[in-house]
Amino acid sequence: MYWADTIAEKVKTLYGKKIASGAPLIIRDEKTLSGRVHVGSLRGLAIHGIVEEVLKEQNIPCRYLFEFNDFDPMDGLPVYLDQEKFLPYMGKPLCDIPSPDGKAKNYAEYFGNEFANVISELGFVPEYYRSSELYLSGKYNDVIKTALLNADKIREIYKKISGSQKEDSWLPLSVICEKCGKVGTTRASSFDGEFVQYECGDFVKWASGCGHKGKASPFDGKAKLPWKVEWAAKFSVLEVDIEGGGKDHSTKGGAREIADAISREVFNREPPLNIPYEFFNVGGKKMSSSKGAGSSSREVADLLPPNIFRLLLIQKDPKRTIEFIPDGDTIPILFDTYDKFAQTYFEGVKDDFTRLFPFVHLPKERAKIIKRILPRFSEITYLVQMPHINIKKQIETQEGRALNEDDLKELEIRKKYAKKWLTTYAPEDYKFEIQKELPESAKNLSSLQKDALSEVLSFLESEKDLDGQKLHTKLHEIKVSLNIEPKLFFSAIYLSILGKESGPKAGWFLSVLPKDFLIKRFKEVVT
């Protein structure tokens, strides 16, 4: 059973009465907008989004709420920001920090807009809200008061679950300092039912307080809850039924266990169904998060068409890690996987892959999934590097028919993303350039390598038309008859044409090159 269907069955069992009442189930996720949003944040977004789509498919009413957390303090400076300009804002709520481009409403809005655009491109349509809105509107007032009046109970929960020992004077609240406007540098010490006493000081390593001591109301956006308490408060205020969390939060003694306990014992609400999910790992030599590049949701979205990106996000069970290495084979494999799923889908095979396949597509495309020619992505990456090749004609020759409008649309998409990948992260094995002159490296081939190329040359001269499969078969025959190691044989071909030891699948590669060029080049090598 596809993992989203398994979760849907749990939901129906857990919330049967609410479903029967017709009230919508509330699904929730969030992201703190402290900078460019890492692509890993899209995993939770997609998991919740697919659960929503599966439930709605079964006519179960639900709402998918997504929070842009803009009320947390800035507790780190991304390297791509002007450090001198933004350093004074450390500790202030993200919504009170100016936009890096001076155009957006604030810092959080700037990064939120970019993330929202990616989400839209992926076809997910959550209902957005901002955490600052909940605080400023007073919707958190009751839970703030409840948390403050139950501070001793919250301290005990922290201690019991995680071993964290809070001081007896500790209160689950950070006041926005009336003097400097920072929320990350304040510590509340007492609550009289209406006001809290607080101090703004150097209580954290990443920001400095102003030293102000005062008394302030904790309501109507003048203070915020610490995030584990706030998490539980959100369950209550928004009446959340389904909300997953990353593996790091869902471990024993972790943030989710604390939030669940606070939800039950302080706010008297059963916490929502958890969907723990593994990490989304981004790797590769060219990836550089430390430089602020290569791992944001925007950058990865630019590398993949939406259906392939959705496949990456929703194929694996949430309990399995996603490994994304753009300067390895990840992207070609993703396209191959899509093509395999498409084949089984159109063959009418009934399995988890064909169940998944429609959800890979944007909702607006799902009613009519078009069967079309899907040229291998790896093949397209080679073809776009051959300016003399008419790619359309090449694919038509391979397929034995003319490409229709849907075929051409798919071909153009794959050409676009192949070119983009080649200019960004593609490894050297996928890149090549036909050498106009005989490469120096080809002048030092062994006699056995030259003998092999002589056999190839003879075959080329005897054949009227070059066919990839026929060439593949012949190359294999030559390899066996001369008892030459495959690496030596094929490197001789690549060194002669590309000036490097590796390249595309040899038979097909030779078949798309001009015959006269190949004959001339191999004659140069063997004579």
Is the distance from CB of 64 to CB of 50 less than 8 angstroms?
Answer: no
pLDDT at 218 over 70: yes
What confidence score (pLDDT) does residue 387 get? 82
The label of the residue with tokens 């060439």 reads 471
pLDDT class of 503 with cuts at 50, 70, 90: confident
Q: Which amino acid is at 191?
A: F
- Report the amino acid identity of residue 43: R
Four-CA torsion 169, 171, 173, 177, nearest 10 degrees: -20
- Better pLDDT: 513 or 175: 175
Question: Phi, psi at residue 186, to the nearest 5°?
Answer: -110, 155
Alpha-helical runs (H) found in 423-463: 447-462
Find the angle CA(192)-CA(193)-CA(197) to the nearest 5 degrees: 40
Note the pLDDT tens digit of each residue in 289-343.
434 445 899 999 999 999 999 999 999 999 999 999 999 999 999 999 999 999 9
How far apart are alpha carbons 441 and 500 in whole angstroms? 8
* Structure token pair of residue 375: 């040229």
Cβ atoms of 459 and 474 within 8 Å: the answer is yes
User: What domains, with CATH codes, occur in the chain?
Assistant: 285-429 (1.10.10.770), 440-526 (1.10.10.350)
pLDDT at 284: 67
Closest CA to 150 of 236, 229, 234, 254: 229
Rounded distance, CA 149 to CA 72, Å? 22
pTM: 0.91
What's the pLDDT band for 512 if we cut at 50, 70, 90?
A: confident
pLDDT of residue 287: 53
For residue 32, report the phi and psi dihedrals to the nearest 5 degrees: -80, 125
Give Cα 137 distance to the centre of its chain: 33
Angstrom CA distances, 282 to 45, 201, 324, stand at: 17, 37, 5
pLDDT in tens, 237-276: 999 999 999 988 989 999 999 999 999 999 999 999 999 9
Whether the per-residue pLDDT at 219 is higher than 70: the answer is: yes
The mean pLDDT value for 109-117 works out to 97
Strand 223-224 with 174-175, pairing: antiparallel
Report the percentage of the chain scoring pLDDT > 90: 88
Q: Residue 156 and residue 454: Cα distance in Å, rounded?
A: 82
286 band by pLDDT with thresholds 50, 70 and 90 = low
What pLDDT score does 285 carry?
Answer: 58
* Span 147-180, pLDDT tens digits: 999 999 999 999 999 999 999 999 999 999 999 9
